[in-house]
Amino acid sequence: MTRDKKRKAEIREAQRSTGHRYVRLAREMTAAARLPAGTFRLSELLAECATLPPADIEWGFPDEYAPAVFESRLIGRAVPYGTVLELAGALAQQGPGARITVESMSPLSQAIVVCRERRFQLLLSQNMVNELCRKAGCDGSPDCWALTRCPRHLAECDTNALVSMARNWGNGRRDEFEHDPERLGGSREADLLIRAAVAGGSFERVRAVLLDACFGDPNLYDDMYLDASVALAMQHALEREKLRLYEVAHAEAKRIREATGACTTCGVSLMGWNPGVPPQLCFTCAPPPPAEHLSPAFSWLAAQPDADQE
């Protein structure tokens, strides 16, 4: 039987067993055949979870603390049912067709899997999944849902990625504390984003987007808040956070310059700090600034100088 005839016979067999249309099955089976080794779809893993019987594993600790597991052919190890279901919840937006690749494996301990750049630690001795830093090989975790890298690798993100994270985190922060201006600022997550932006010379752009997402457009405060005292509180909170983030950025730039000592490209001594230049580079060696994509209503913020800016 030729390869083409064998493929058609497999599709017809799948059609008889599933009742699905031939064209759909042909497309799905062709795509599955092209997946790299160690890659499978979420639907396949869920099918294993739903149909395979429990496996007997010697954990080395009392059975009452052990999770119920099954032997997964796709992952290559015994995996807790609960871990698979938690992974399915984390990938709910991607749907059952999400492609998963096994990055690494530690028997009876963990499996690291990747789906669309997202990395997950599947714990094999308990029903748990942790989302990891998207840096390959890193076992750290982001500080919150809006960040894609751990603090150690956040500065490796480009400006667009930092802007996206700042917008997502700021919108979430505003949803939570919009009626409590004093709590909108002063967060560790904002500080991490600002420090990462300083390293890449994109401080002003990232700060502007972050403040816009957290506080909204100050020109609309009088219309948004009927109580003038609330509008004034929002304005004061915005200005305080704007200055505080500048101080965080200034301290980070100073730390980087002291650690570097001289321009990493030409070796010239580093003096002062320009927020649009990576602090490890002199002005001459700095790359061109990224294009600005700020909303017209809020672009004034990035252009305003800070009172204590050098």
Question: How do 39-41 and 110-115 pair as beta strands?
Answer: unpaired
310 residues of the chain, pLDDT tens digit each: 465 666 677 667 666 766 667 776 566 555 545 444 589 999 999 999 999 999 988 878 887 888 999 999 999 889 999 999 999 999 999 999 999 999 998 877 899 999 999 999 999 999 999 999 999 999 999 999 999 999 999 999 999 999 999 999 999 999 999 888 989 999 999 999 999 999 999 999 999 999 999 999 999 998 888 889 989 999 999 999 999 999 999 999 999 999 998 998 999 988 888 999 999 999 888 887 655 544 444 444 544 555 444 4
**Helix (H), strand (E), coil (C) string for 149-182:** CCCCCHHHCCHHHHHHHHHHHHHHHHHHHCCCHH
Q: What is the pLDDT of residue 12?
A: 75
Q: Cβ contacts of residue 52 below 8 Å, gap of 6+?
A: 70, 71, 72
The partner residues of 132 in beta bridges, in order of sequence, read 119
Compute the distance between CA of residue 232 and CA of residue 238 in angstroms, rounded to an integer: 10
Q: What is the pLDDT of residue 307?
A: 46
Q: What is the pLDDT of residue 34?
A: 46
The partner residues of 40 in beta bridges, in order of sequence, read 100
Q: Cβ contacts of residue 22 below 8 Å, gap of 6+?
A: 11, 12, 15
Q: Where are the domains of the chain?
A: 36-132, 154-303
- Report H helices in the chain: 3-18, 22-33, 42-51, 81-90, 159-177, 188-200, 203-215, 221-224, 228-260, 300-303
Q: What is the pLDDT of residue 293?
A: 46
Cα 229 to chain centroid distance, Å, stands at 37
- Number of residues assigned to the chain: 310
